[in-house]
């Protein structure tokens, strides 16, 4: 049976200090929005309020950056987010909290495998891209079944990239082909 996620929309959380250059592995680290991220969430709420088909249910990752984005945007459409931990970013394991350049210098082969979306790569003590995609698909399948639709799920860049690979029928090694800026909205 084909997976049907019609009626599910994804949005990435607003900016955090760890999204800024030089870049830091956030993963499951609970990094809050910065001031720009809060403004982005407010603007996302305006976009949602202007939709011709109103959002009927609102979901979010339980990490504060997604939860806060959903709460701010949801205020514009009169919805409070329901939380699902499965919408979290990929678990970056031992790399969480480190700058990209620090990992590139200390473990260049693993870093290259990550940047190349090598299908055999998993973060040390963390997840693979397949683990991430499977977890997010399970969450979105449940969201669609629970309804009402359309449903908006506020989550993370890696989760959205994994779902874009699914939507476009591409293998996960196409992960980096997709640009997912903060508060990007993607229809599945």
Tens digit of pLDDT per residue, the chain (188 long)?
A: 457 899 999 999 999 999 998 889 999 999 999 999 999 999 999 999 999 999 999 999 999 999 999 999 999 999 999 999 999 999 999 999 999 999 999 999 999 999 998 889 999 999 999 999 999 999 999 999 998 999 999 999 999 999 999 999 999 999 999 999 999 999 98
Set 89, 96, 127, 156: catalytic member: 89
Distance (Å, whole) CA 3 – CA 92? 27
Residue 1 lies in a domain: no
Indicate the pTM of the whole model: 0.95
Q: How far apart are CA 52 and CA 65, in angstroms?
A: 27
Which residue range(s) make up the domain with 88? Answer: 8-187
169 is catalytic: no
Q: What is the CATH number of the domain that holds 80?
A: 3.40.50.1240
Q: Is 159 domain-assigned?
A: yes
Question: How many whole angstroms from its chain centre is CA 155?
Answer: 4
Residue 3 domain-assigned (yes or no): no
Catalytic hit among 13, 96, 127, 156: 13
User: What's the total number of domains in the chain?
Assistant: 1
Length of the chain: 188
156 as an active site residue: the answer is no
């Amino acid at each position: 049976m084909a997976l049907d996620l019609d009626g599910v929309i994804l949005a990435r959380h607003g900016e955090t200090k760890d999204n800024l250059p030089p870049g830091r592995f956030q993963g499951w680290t609970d990094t809050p929005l910065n001031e720009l991220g809060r403004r982005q969430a407010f603007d996302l709420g305006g976009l949602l309020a202007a939709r011709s088909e109103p959002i009927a249910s609102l979901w979010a990752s339980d990490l504060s950056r997604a939860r806060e984005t959903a709460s701010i945007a949801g205020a514009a459409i009169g919805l409070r987010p329901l939380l699902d931990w499965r919408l979290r970013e990929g678990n970056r394991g031992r790399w969480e909290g480190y700058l990209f350049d620090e990992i590139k210098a200390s473990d260049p082969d693993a870093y290259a495998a990550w940047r190349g979306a090598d299908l055999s790569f998993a973060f040390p003590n963390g997840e693979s891209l397949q683990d991430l995609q499977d977890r997010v698909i399970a969450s979105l399948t449940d969201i669609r079944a629970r309804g009402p639709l359309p449903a908006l799920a506020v989550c993370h860049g890696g989760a959205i990239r994994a779902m874009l690979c699914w939507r476009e029928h591409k293998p996960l090694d196409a992960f980096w082909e997709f640009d997912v800026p903060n508060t990007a909205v993607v229809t599945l």
